[in-house]
Structure 1
Amino acid sequence: MNRLIPAAIVALALAGSAAAQAAGTCTVIVNGHPLDPGAAACDDGQNVLLSAQALNECLGISVVPPEGGAPWTVRGFGHTILVRAGATAYSVDGLMQSAQVAPELRDDTLFVPLAMVEGTFELRSTVQRDGEATVWALSGPGSSVLDIREGRHEDRVRIVLDVERPTGVRWTLQDGLLTLELPASPGSQMASAVRLVRPEDELVEQIRQGPTGSGSTRIEIVHRSPAPPEVFSLPDPPRIVVDLLRSAEPAAPEPPLQPVRPLPAAAGVLESRNFTTPRGPVRVHVMDVDPRCTAIEVRPALAAGALNGRAPLTQIVRQSGAWGGVNGGYFAQNGAPLGMLVINGEWVRDPYDGRTVLGITQDGKLLMDRLSFDARVTFAGHGWQQLSAINRGHEETDTLVLFNRHWGSTVEGAAGRTRLVVDASGVVTAKICDGMSAAIPPRGFVLSGIGRMAASLDLVEVGCAVTVDLATTPRWPALAQAIGGGPRLVKDGQKHITASPERFRPDVYAGVAPRTAIGITAAGRLLLVVVDGNGQRCGMTLDELASTMIKLGARDAMNLDGGGSTTFVADGRLINGPSDGAERRVANALLIYITDRLAADGG
């Protein structure tokens, strides 16, 4: 909805608008701040174009120049817009669109039509005319700053602002002071938050947060960096990132990685290579392993061995005694996996929402499909009941849930539940109907019922024999390992992206991001693949990832958790460049182990 521009701002903007109009530019106000003359251009007052500098410094949108005939890249919060000077056709997250006016190059500066960016970045525009003068007012969504984090690296300090939602950020630079200002969420209590952070690194003296008189949030970073900062954004979760460099000189080329201790020759190979995308080359790291080889084992792992834990992949590899691996499936904020997980035949989580799962049978055969949970519990003398979930809370009424050791030592008490404690021999040793907590026995489990399922468990006596049949549709017998993710990327050697039926958001499908994927070759080998994520040109769309997996030889392939979670470890060392600048703590992983027998032989 259009709103009137405050009169004081209009007066300030119009003070120099006549000269600006005569020069072929126009007056534009972004989140209450007029742009400098020359930062925008008007097309007969009907269309406005914003310079690359204005997009970056007033909205936090990165504009990357082209290389080798590629288009210009406009990026922010995971969205990628590809434009060419003089062309009205452009793409947003891989989808082609058309605008009335084309981007322009003026003195080697790109000017992008507002129409090409306002929908993607949720900008609202209002136009007001006073005689021959025209004032455009742009505003973006408000957001709260949830947290301020610091990451220390050899060549830089990275400041990360965790924000409530994607938003535009204005930044200005003075000697030793970087100021960021973003519109606050209307009515949010955090809009008036005051914060003082004193980082441990001497490059940053302090970070101050406080409200402004105009309803915005201001972040001031007092620093000693000799180089201009790099300000950009990252998605999932939304973050505004500031990189402060330690030196004004270009970073020296990194020394080549020392050779990693290879996998046994019969088991697999490791390689890194470049793949071409419309945005330029992207580094891709690949482990090609044979899960049937007795020299290695392939299996998932939980961070710290706990359902709700999170840790960097290098730590998971080290604590698990693995050689390497990749990050695994999606997870909740507390670290609980959001997909199927089976480790050494023990079920940690059931399939999630019909999404794609990788399975490994006891003889090393690889499986991939969209699965649904199809398990039942049989009570001797009482018949059977359908099992609803494993190690999840009761998300609906009339459900039956199994809790094993991965949940923890105890299932907390709750009214309206009936719990049966079943020991390792499959016999009910206790029935709890009074809302008290239930201890999970060693190698046993607890069954919890609510609604009609609670009434069914009330009929079961202590001493009853219980049998649990954990299965899926389609059936996967002799299942040893499983890890869920999604969506599917490749089926029978052809692209088969199931983002919609697996209910993934459009930005997951079309957005450009670092990626982790796994594939199965026609020979039954397993591909563990990571698309690098460090830099403004990083990542792929899922369509590009599917094409890459086919080129690598995948007959079937699926996506895993990506973005800042994407990590690739070989011989205990981090190989890729995480997009956060450092490893994100993840909940689970798919790891490669060199067997004890081979290690003992020096293999």
Structure 2
Amino acid sequence: MVAITLKTRFQWPQLALGAVVAILGTASPAAAQSARQQGDRIAIGSRTLSVPWAQWQQGGNARIGIGDTAARQLGIELAGTDDPQRQAVRWFEASLTLKARRQETQRYLALNRLFERTGASTRVQGQTLRIEPPKARLEGIRRGQHPWGERIVLDLSRPTFWHWRVRDGTATVTVAATAAAQLQARDSEVTAVKAAGQDAAQLQFDIPAGLVPQVQTLRDPARIAIDFRPRSLQQREIRWAPGVSWHQDTITAGDTRFPAVWLSLDPARVSLRPIQAEDAGMQGIAPLAQMARQQGATAAINGGFFNRNSQLPLGAIRRDGRWLSGPILDRGAFAWNERGQGTIARLRRRETLTLEGGPSWPVPLLNTGYTQSGIARYTPAWGQTYTPMTDGETVAVVRDGRIVRRASSLRAGERAFDIPANGYVLAVRGSDSEGAASALTRGKAVSLRAQTSPAAFADYPHVLGAGPLLLQDGRTVLDARAENFSQPFRNQAAPRSAIGIGNSGSLIVATFYGQKSDGGPTLAQTAQLMQRLGAQSALNLDGGNSSALYLGGQLLDPPPAVAGRVHNGLGIFLQRDRAR
């Protein structure tokens, strides 16, 4: 591929874009009108960032854009907008309105105006967009104390690109500017400065306990201000696409304020599907962003609980009418269909196993990492094999409704049993199930029937379980004890994820955090927060470091270095025929 260089301050005289491309030897004018380039990396000087970008033509002009949710990686702050095709941004206190273009799962912001203002040039090299800003200098570092905490100011010779990340209690700010290696903040013990290549300076700050860094840019003169203070988000709403609005705010529950990031969704314009880390089976965890990208989801939120050690699910997952994992402990679940109709309730599903001409036994567990005395069933959705998870298990392999293999007194992890494509494996555990263990012998025929409560859940093709239930019909119905959650869990204040259904059937997926670097709302406060967002029914999802919300290729909050790996999530897909 021939590299195309776009210098935004240079105008080709009296030439259409097609002629320019033809001169560069890449395509004919006709082909140029439909040509698109895109990639997943941006290089600024000697630094490379994982940022999606695209090049396209609009109104006869060439546009170069980056994914809007990744704009903060260049130091660009998004403002509110009610037009998915236009986006207001702030950069060193300058306000610009940029054209936006949605393509597949991304919404790209055309940065041509910003490049013109900064004098930056761009060049495409394969999957990488190279941005060369004019030379800037880091001229000083100042530290000050304010009533709300500490502020560190970086003085620059001119506005330039920058990005920051947080990891292991340290904030790192990288600025596209040169700095003297010995430059230090006066009277500051939290700053270290080093060169990051020949054209960038990298500054590291130890984050004071209980605070979070918040970064903003100022002008006249150009400055980057890093504040260490309780976390807070300014109110903002971005109409990201038809049917999808992205919100952030700091919301009060009782007398406590919580930063919140959420998406409001029109179910007529989006479709939902459970997504999971591994398609080949139930074992496995992965970052939510990776999971969403692999599944082609435009947006996603983390889903139900799982065992982090075994990486197995601990709650209901149903997709396209097929139970991938059954509910446990009568916990809350969200069910929905392809028409955008949904319900939230406590879910119980029980199967009954009947031996031909003989007794019947309950089968309360299906494809789950949760173990208890009784019978559990494992289908091909679990994976290719089943390995005993507890000592003393009896395993019976069923093919075409008949037991074809049996083994007893097994130790945990002792051996793997193949799960037939046209059958399943039964695991019998505990002394209370000795009758079933002895009766399930090779050659005997067995049958199954299932019962779901509420019965309406059986009619929904998709289900995602978590808990506890927070709201129903506008009322708080929180009862974590009834859903068999432990006392420490019931009392914990932690980051939270939740899903809700509004009055008109609209959907809300939300994450809530504490104002300090740790903590967050309690379950009762989460119910109040979801009411504040307009939910009539609401369900708590897995939280803590599992809590994450994804849109357009990036996590909205928290930073990727903080978010944990998860087993499953709720994928949100735009209806292409309606969204374009």
Partner deviation per Cα, 1:459-504 (whole Å, 9 max, x = no partner): 3455544332233333332242222222222121122222343344
Distance 1:433 1:328, change over 3 A: same
Query: 1:200-215 counterparts in 2 under 5 A?
Result: none
| Distance in 1 separating the partners of 2:506 and 2:579 | 24
Distance 1:495 1:465, change over 3 A: same
Match of 1:442 among 406, 421, 434: 421
Match of 1:158 among 167, 171, 175: 167
Asked whether the equivalents of residues 238 and 245 of structure 2 are also in contact (C-alpha less than 8 Å), the reply is: no
Match of 1:573 among 554, 560, 572: 554
Aligned to 1:388: 364
Q: What's the CA shift for 1:326?
A: 0.6
| Distance in 1 separating the partners of 2:477 and 2:409 | 50
Is 2:566 the partner of 1:582? no
Match of 1:367 among 328, 332, 343: 343
Q: Percent of aligned positions with the same letter in both sequences?
A: 27
Q: What's the CA shift for 1:447?
A: 1.0
In the alignment, structure 1 segments of 5+ residues that lack a partner are: 1-106, 111-152, 162-172, 179-200, 205-223, 235-240
Given residue 343 of structure 1, which amino acid in structure 2 is its aligned partner? R
Other structure's SS at 2:246 match? strand
Distance 1:249 1:310, change over 3 A: same
Query: 1:171-570 counterparts in 2 under 5 A?
Result: 229-232=206-209, 250-251=225-226, 262=241, 265=242, 268-277=243-252, 278-280=255-257, 282-290=259-267, 293=268, 296-305=270-279, 306-334=281-309, 335-361=311-337, 364-392=340-368, 395-397=371-373, 399-412=374-387, 416-423=392-399, 425-433=400-408, 435=410, 437-450=416-429, 451=431, 453=433, 455-460=435-440, 462=442, 464-475=444-455, 476-504=457-485, 508=489, 512-531=493-512, 536=517, 539-570=520-551
Asked whether the equivalents of residues 166 and 559 of structure 2 are also in contact (C-alpha less than 8 Å), the reply is: no
Distance 1:175 1:390, change over 3 A: farther
| Distance in 1 separating the partners of 2:283 and 2:169 | 24
Q: What's the CA shift for 1:315?
A: 0.6
User: For the aligned residues, what is the CA RMSD?
Assistant: 4.5
Q: What's the CA shift for 1:276?
A: 3.1
Given residue 510 of structure 2, which amino acid in structure 1 is its aligned partner? V
Distance 1:387 1:469, change over 3 A: same
Given residue 478 of structure 1, which amino acid in structure 2 is its aligned partner? D
The total of aligned residue pairs comes to 382
Given residue 348 of structure 1, which amino acid in structure 2 is its aligned partner? L
Distance 1:513 1:392, change over 3 A: closer
In the alignment, structure 2 segments of 5+ residues that lack a partner are: 1-144, 149-161, 171-184, 215-222, 228-232
Distance 1:572 1:289, change over 3 A: farther
| Distance in 2 separating the partners of 1:258 and 1:159 | 31
TM value normalised by structure 1: 0.53
Other structure's SS at 2:565 match? coil
Aligned to 2:44: none
Asked whether the equivalents of residues 169 and 206 of structure 2 are also in contact (C-alpha less than 8 Å), the reply is: no
Other structure's SS at 1:520 match? strand
| Distance in 2 separating the partners of 1:416 and 1:307 | 23
Asked whether the equivalents of residues 328 and 590 of structure 1 are also in contact (C-alpha less than 8 Å), the reply is: yes
Asked whether the equivalents of residues 157 and 203 of structure 1 are also in contact (C-alpha less than 8 Å), the reply is: no
| Distance in 2 separating the partners of 1:394 and 1:508 | 17
Return the structure number with greater strand share: 2
Q: What's the CA shift for 1:375?
A: 1.8
| Distance in 2 separating the partners of 1:359 and 1:518 | 11
Asked whether the equivalents of residues 238 and 247 of structure 2 are also in contact (C-alpha less than 8 Å), the reply is: no
Distance 1:280 1:477, change over 3 A: closer
Partner deviation per Cα, 1:539-571 (whole Å, 9 max, x = no partner): 434333323322333221111112322211123
Distance 1:602 1:559, change over 3 A: closer
